[in-house]
Amino acid sequence: MKALGILNFEPYSINVRGIEEYRPISAASFLGRFRVLDFMISNFTNSGIDNLKVFIKNRPRSTVEHVHSTNYNINAKRGKIHLLHGEKVYTNPIYNTDLAAFESNMSFIREVNADLVIVAPSHFVYIQDFNKVVEEHLKKENDITVLYHAVNDANQAYELCDTLQINEEGRVTAIATNSCKYKHRNISLESYVMSRKLFMTLVERGRKTSSIYWLRDILRDSIDDLKVGTYAHKGYVACMNSLKAYLKANLDLIKEENLNTLIKKDWTIYTMTNDSCPTLYEAGARAVSSIVGNGCDIAGDLENCVIGRGVKIGQGCKIKNTMILPGARIGDNVTIENAVIDRFANVTVDSVLIGEPSDPLYVARGDKI
């Protein structure tokens, strides 16, 4: 596909407590093997988009290391992944918007030989063939086509995400913010298809309108002036906008019916390879309804957990409804429920860590408990 793919960085409404102190949510571990951004970048490359601009708002190390170490099946002769960030230093983070980053890197966008731009979010996980979205975009002769997902749990999830009012012709008539008051809403998946010329025009217009405008703001202002169409997404969707949502998304995918809509044989999710031995389950170990990465040493009891690579869990442990990121160490006779344990944390023997499903407990990277 002759299009430029832009992986946008997350808005400031995203607050994944603890996790984002060390990396953007896009670079956070997912399902014990992937990073969150692997899914959207794989959507681009599986759709035949070889020119990608990955924007980073802050804390770039994890993103840079992972992207540079991953083969996303890009044609090396005609395509590339370009990691970009805003060039200015802002004393106030409210000025560090996506439009500001786009403007400071506009020369790299102009030089790409592509008629269309597809902007996608880095804090959502879903799979989507963008060829189908572009086909609908061209067929309906839209100025902009927005990907959306109709949900019946907007009162419990997708807080502060954009919601779309859509008329019978499939056009967006209003954009609002989800306040979690209503169950049924059309949630914007923050993927937009438009011409490269229009994209550059909107960036310029948004920057002139307000120094703290985001792309979503200028799109909302342009509804009456532009033909903004929609494309309905089908399948699993997760928005990582809080620690609760991050943990829930990982645990939801333990269910086979959810996992099968996201991980498919004909839609490869590319990630960094890791050469390590298979996981060792010691005598007396038990793992029920769990996803466990390779290279682990499991001697305790797991139920409804997602365990990253290289995790060690001691004897007598009882761990439930928990996500443990790679490299963590859990001592003997530890009880953990409803928690996220960050990378390289060390939870020593006889500890009891219990959070609530609505307010998960978080153990910071490298901490000793």
pLDDT for the residue numbered 77: 60
108-157 pLDDT tens trace: 999 988 999 999 999 999 999 999 999 999 999 999 999 999 999 999 99
Mean pLDDT of 276-289: 94
> What's the pTM value of the predicted model, to 2 decimals?
0.94
Q: Residue 120's closest CA among 7, 256, 249?
A: 7
* 274, 65 Cβ separation under 8 angstroms: no
Query: What is the distance between the alpha carbons of residues 189 and 198, in angstroms, rounded to a whole number?
Result: 20
* 302, 288 Cβ separation under 8 angstroms: yes
353, pLDDT greater than 70: yes
CA 30 to chain centre: 9
The tokens describing 359, both together, are 């307010």
88, pLDDT greater than 80: no
Instruction: Report DSSP state, residue 21.
Output: G
Other CB atoms within a 10 A radius of the CB of residue 62 amount to 18
Query: What is the distance between the alpha carbons of residues 40 and 122, in angstroms, rounded to a whole number?
Result: 7
* Domains in the chain, CATH or no CATH each: 3-262 (3.90.550.10), 280-363 (2.160.10.10)
Q: Residue 294's closest CA among 277, 313, 270?
A: 277
pLDDT for the residue numbered 162: 96
- In the chain, the amino acid numbered 188 is S
